[in-house]
Amino acid sequence: MANVEIRGNSDLRKAMRRFAPDLEKNLRKEIASGLKPVVAKARGYVPANSPMSGWAARSFNQGKFPTFNSGIIQRGITYSASVSKVNKNGFSSMAGIYNKSASGAIYETAGRKNPAGQPWVGSKAGGSGKGVSRSNNPTAGQTFINNLPPLISSLQGRGRLIYRAWAEDRGIANGIVMRAIDKSITEFYARSNAGSLGKAA
Tens of pLDDT, residues 45-84: 999 999 988 888 765 555 567 899 999 999 999 999 988 8
Half-sphere exposure in the Cβ direction for 117 (13 Å, CA): 18
Q: Please, where are the H alpha helices in the chain?
A: 10-19, 21-44, 70-76, 102-109, 140-146, 162-169, 172-194
Instruction: Map residue 190 onto helix, strand or coil.
Output: helix
136-154: pLDDT as tens digits: 778 888 889 999 999 999 9
Q: In whole angstroms, what is the distance from residue 111 CA to residue 168 CA? A: 21
Query: Residue 200 has what pLDDT?
Result: 47
Residue with the bigger pLDDT between 162 and 87: it is: 162
Where in the chain are the domains?
2-110+150-194, 113-147
Q: How confident is the model at residue 5 (pLDDT cuts 50, 70, 90)?
A: confident
- SS3 assignment for 26-71: HHHHHHHHHHHHHHHHHHHCCCCCCCCHHHECCCCCCCCCCCECHH
Per DSSP bridges, beta strands 95-99 and 157-159 are unpaired
Query: Residue 104 has what pLDDT?
Result: 95
Tell me which DSSP letter residue 120 carries.
B
| Spatial contact of 143 and 15, defined as CB atoms under 8 Å apart | no
Q: In whole angstroms, what is the distance from residue 200 CA to residue 83 CA? A: 21
Q: In whole angstroms, what is the distance from residue 20 CA to residue 201 CA? A: 9
Q: Give ∠ CA 130-89-11 in degrees, rounded to 5.
A: 140
- Give Cβ neighbours of residue 196 (< 8 Å, ≥ 6 apart): none
Q: Give ∠ CA 95-98-101 in degrees, rounded to 5.
A: 160
**Single-letter amino acid code for the residue at 128:** S
82-130: pLDDT as tens digits: 888 877 777 788 899 999 999 999 999 999 988 888 887 777 676 666 7
Query: Residue 63 has what pLDDT?
Result: 55
CA 11 to each of CA 7, 86, 108, 132: distance values in angstroms, whole numbers, following the listed order:
11, 11, 31, 41
pLDDT at residue 170 tops 80: yes
The stretch 15-30 carries a mean pLDDT of 92
pLDDT at residue 172 tops 50: yes
**Single-letter amino acid code for the residue at 35:** L
Query: Residue 197 has what pLDDT?
Result: 82
Q: In whole angstroms, what is the distance from residue 84 CA to residue 60 CA? A: 37
Q: State percent of the chain over pLDDT 70.
A: 91
